[in-house]
Structure 1
């Protein structure tokens, strides 16, 4: 009998000592990392110009292995294990009230639209009549809320380019392309992203059907995260800026929201939308004020993550989706028009819709395809030029304001 309590006491002592040693190791590593960072900053070791001048010299040879080992420790179980949800913001925070009001307005608007379509007898909604939102959109919202209510270590799920490219097993790194999308830093982050996502997601699902929308959602989420990782790799290898690759961990739905906004805007090319209910803007370019407003209201948000979502929407609308349609047509054997029937009406496939949009005003002649291709090329060029202008303006503004790169201990929001 007396041996049992002694064994349990020894076990508790050992586990407590192991926990204390782990905490001490984390504290020691963070202190050493901060000291090395201060020394490197004072000596100019972290300046991009020095590495780009002499990438294969002493600085480059010493810096690269140090960064790799630091990243391996940072993203290991000894790294920072911040949990979400974080403490909720104060009720007096104007951003909380604004994001909550915007989300309520989005939900009420979508419910009214759904009721209008049901009363009009439209069956294009691709959803169950008893639901307030289309089913896949509702499931996406529910997944984001569920993930927020169940704390998870940001270190384990965030979109870290280093982990995606080098984590072992490799599948764990690849899963981050999607797992990071549902994680949010606080209540304001969650509500703001949901209010931005809902209008475009619901409209796309009603237009294309739930099955196609689910596939497009998975594709857009992976594509936007992939663009984010590709940019970090480019910055490390070409621009000699390693922080975006080794030190950044991004979370949030906003990349996917911007991607859907671009796709939905392309499906309404030629139409205008009202910004803040009064300023008319071309629908394909409605993402521009969204990017600007998000960084005015939340300066800590990830500009690279938002632009990755925009780039994913453009790639999806003009390259990925048309290629997939062409492959499916070839596999089905339906590419030819020599069956003796009437020639199919020309359709514009660069618009981001599920089955193409009929080209208005074309009489079914042979010139419709060329006109649609020219229109698609013009739209693609306009989007690329606008993206370049936004990135250039943001770069100039950050240099003029003297902003430094984000510290490696800070999480980024998308």
Structure 2
């Protein structure tokens, strides 16, 4: 599947430090280097209503990680999927009378344009579920052969969560059984399906139903893939295990990332990821933002209203990626004002040495992607303009380039 165009990224004359980040599985900070060649997999959208602010916050956060890694001189492999066949997509297509393929294509293209506008570096591999179905079929057949999966009478195939893997099931989320059952029911699971050996067993292959799209499944019969196995297969094929980081929103901790890890480890005997990073949830005006409530803030709508995408990105970066936060109009106004101040400074004489600003900026970002502190560093630089002295032109340009390379904000744009 086609990705999106890459923004121009300045190359800085020195290297930054390797970052640390909070890992859900470790329940604390870890240094994430990937031996200089980190492998990142971030779960993509289900393309039936893109791109809301929660999506944008997640992809800007991991774009920041990619930028910090690149600044440290690392050779990054970044993979992202798009779940272009799933129940929510089919339900939205049915509700709107639009062919599911046309709906997916439309929303994926909208997502691409939003990511380009936000200056998000594209993944090296942007892979759809549909194009991965032959690989999923082979993986599910392998799990069945290993005794890690079984079929119901209707042909649906399920993963056995009691399969022995190392690290064991639950090591990523650290939830107890009651918590797992609650989240599994709330987040796409089917604990009450008759015939399952364990209520937490996860769907690997959904056998063909009348009126639903399906694909040949070799020994599995016609059908379509489950959600978790799709990501496990794509991550393994295009990034390789163990991933340095598995990333996504905090609502994916369980069951999605836990199941992905279990599927992949049962298939390969290799741990799925060294670290799991999760972004906070974004609400609107004090309420949870969700598609069911219809209170989504869409990047495309803001752009259509004339909002500068750089201001949207700054509004996101003003919050630590792990925090839950709320979007509102004052937040956007504050971000636009900050952008104006920075751009004015970029065109003025700011008597600050680049080395000091860059060191502080890198230190903030290396500390669990502390973007609020990083923005504070540039605020101080911008506030120092206009006192009558002049920095070297090279210092001024290096700071402008650092803001672009590390924060994704082009201060010289019109």
Structure with larger Rg:
1
User: Which has the larger helix fraction?
Assistant: 1
**Higher-RCO chain (CA-CA 8 Å, sequence separation at least 6):** 2
Q: Same fold (TM over 0.5)?
A: no
For the aligned pair, the TM-score class normalised by the smaller chain equals under 0.3
